[in-house]
Structure 1
Amino acid sequence: MTANVNGIRATVRRGGLDWLVAQDADVLALQEVRASDDQLAKALAGSDFASWQIAHAPSATAGRAGVAVLSRHPIGEIVVGLPGFEDDGRWIEATVDVAGVPVTVVSAYVHTGEAGTPKQDDKFAFLEAMGARMAELIDRDAVVTGDFNICHTTRDLKNWKGNRGKSGFLPEEQKHLTSWFESGWADVVRERAGDVDGPYTWWSWRGKAFDNDSGWRIDYVLDSPSLAARVERFEVGRAAAYSERWSDHAAVVVDHG
């Protein structure tokens, strides 16, 4: 399961931690944790996750970004950051031992970006580094999850016409995803959902975006070929009502056999 929690402490206050526990996942990837190691441990205290193994990469800037992998199985090797982005809290790999089989789980949080600004340059640089690392991981049992802040096609964005030329829907961003899929990474949700609108994973807090399902599909689960062959089902954990939202994102759950 992958979830952008929009701040782990805010998620606890809104009841989101209880929802995450109830999904009974084996591994949970988090983005936008926005906490120190101690703050994350305190947020998880008293929940089932308190006894899980944790790999956490906080941002060097307090209160920003932060990614983590939580696992009920043993975690072996941990890799933090990408070249040039070692302390940004945007990339962590945890190799999880599942019944003696190592599975590399990545939690990634790609920059939001802003077209035509240095923020977008940072996003493109991160995507380049991300692609280079994924090329090294593709022959493993590996899954790259997280908030990529990119809609790959018009199927992934309700108001795509109004967002042309904006970060998150730039052709230059989409080319990165296309290259990953062409190299063998499987976009699990799209392959299972088919050629349909959505399912979206992010909606603005403002206006009627959530009620009208005017969303963006920016949260992904990408499987290496060996794992993709074992996918059984997926689910997007969209809240039943606006009042039940605990993040502006919905979690994505994938079961493998």
Structure 2
Amino acid sequence: MKFISWNVNGLRAIVKKNFMATFQDLDADFFGIQETKLQAGQIDLDIPGYYQYWNYAERKGYSGTALFTKHKPLAVHYGIDAPDFDHEGRAITLEYPDFYVMTCYVPNSGTKLKRLDFRMGWEDAFLTYINQLNAKKPVIYCGDLNVAHEEIDLKNPKSNHHNAGFSDEERGKFSTLLAAGYLDTFRHFYPDATGRYSWWSYRFHARDNNAGWRIDYFVTSQRLQNQLQDAKILDQVMGSDHCPVELDVADLTV
């Protein structure tokens, strides 16, 4: 079963850049997107064979997530059960007989880490939320997690230390989450792979020079480890400042 995640950095913009052709070519069972940057009624995607679920931010043109699937879920849940964070459209969870799948867009800590406190609050609330799910059945979640976990996960770790996405606080929270029973699936398969990134600044020809960051992930409950088949970074796919990431999993009941 194929899972795809992509921060599209504005769905209306990327639809004009061959998004639908890419969507069809990838032919995923589950396709999570982040930063839709739209409100209800601002786009109408004709995707035969897929159920569509959307979570919009209250603030117009900001944040937002969507999850498309070939498989009708048992239940759908929006947000992470935390009122302080659920107004920004950052999470959607679908429930299936033996697992949950989730798309999420983690808050950016901002210039000079001005939103770090908000981000830390999100991290705590998010871990509480997925632990509650994980106590019932395994979790597969994807998205722009806005953190490069280790130095291997970005081109220039020294000059970016203490910047948003590579602060000690953000990296520490991700370490805490993984230690709570979860896997960074790409590093599970490719623990030493270098130069593999999912986001590049639009400045300084960063993508041409592969001066990027790996901040887009699939994370799963550890007990799914034996069902994981591969994790991929689809860095040849264009259209956003992020590229899609993929996870392939066997033996899931939908």
Instruction: Decide: shared fold, TM above 0.5.
Output: yes
- 2:231 counterpart residue number: 234
- Secondary structure of the 1:189 match is helix
- 1:38 counterpart residue number: 41
Deviation at residue 39 of structure 1 after TM alignment:
2.5
For the 8 Å contact 1:138–1:225, the answer to whether it is kept is no
- 1:92 counterpart residue number: 92
Q: Which stretches of structure 1, 4 residues or longer, exceed 3 Å deviation after superposition? A: 115-118
Instruction: Tell me the distance in 2 between the aligned counterparts of 1:200 and 1:109.
Output: 17
Deviation at residue 138 of structure 1 after TM alignment:
2.3
Instruction: Tell me the distance in 1 between the aligned counterparts of 2:38 and 2:163.
Output: 29
Q: Which amino acid aligns with 2:123?
A: L
Match of 2:212 among 207, 211, 215: 215
Deviations 1:113-172 (A, max 9, x none): 136554221111111111111211224121111001111010111111110111110111
For the 8 Å contact 1:131–1:176, the answer to whether it is kept is no
Which is worse superposed, 205-214 or 59-68?
205-214
Alignment partner of 1:170 is 2:167: yes
- 1:69 counterpart residue number: 67
Q: TM-score, normalised by structure 1?
A: 0.90
**What pairs up with 1:138-153 in 2 under 5 angstroms?**
138-139=134-135, 140-153=137-150
For the 8 Å contact 2:113–2:164, the answer to whether it is kept is no
Deviations 1:164-190 (A, max 9, x none): 111110111111111111121010001
Deviation at residue 236 of structure 1 after TM alignment:
1.1
* Structure 1: unaligned runs, 5 residues or longer: none
- Secondary structure of the 1:169 match is coil
Using a 3 Å threshold, how does the CA distance of structure 1 residues 234 and 61 change in structure 2: closer, same or farther? same
Using a 3 Å threshold, how does the CA distance of structure 1 residues 213 and 124 change in structure 2: closer, same or farther? same
* Structure 2: unaligned runs, 5 residues or longer: none
Q: Which amino acid aligns with 1:184?
A: G
Q: Which amino acid aligns with 2:41?
A: D
Match of 1:188 among 171, 185, 189: 185
Using a 3 Å threshold, how does the CA distance of structure 1 residues 39 and 75 change in structure 2: closer, same or farther? farther
Which is worse superposed, 82-91 or 24-33?
82-91
Using a 3 Å threshold, how does the CA distance of structure 1 residues 104 and 213 change in structure 2: closer, same or farther? same
Percent identity, please.
Answer: 28
Q: Which amino acid aligns with 1:128?
A: D
Q: Paired residues, what number?
A: 244
Match of 1:109 among 95, 105, 112: 105
- 1:123 counterpart residue number: 119
- 1:29 counterpart residue number: 32
Deviation at residue 208 of structure 1 after TM alignment:
1.9
- 1:197 counterpart residue number: 194
**What pairs up with 1:155-166 in 2 under 5 angstroms?**
155-166=152-163
Instruction: Tell me the distance in 2 between the aligned counterparts of 1:209 and 1:218.
Output: 15
Instruction: Tell me the distance in 2 between the aligned counterparts of 1:50 and 1:65.
Output: 25
Instruction: Tell me the distance in 2 between the aligned counterparts of 1:39 and 1:76.
Output: 27
Alignment partner of 1:9 is 2:9: no
Deviation at residue 20 of structure 1 after TM alignment:
2.0
- Secondary structure of the 2:116 match is helix
Which is worse superposed, 171-180 or 116-125?
116-125
Across the aligned residues of Structure 1 and Structure 2, the Cα RMSD in angstroms comes to 1.6
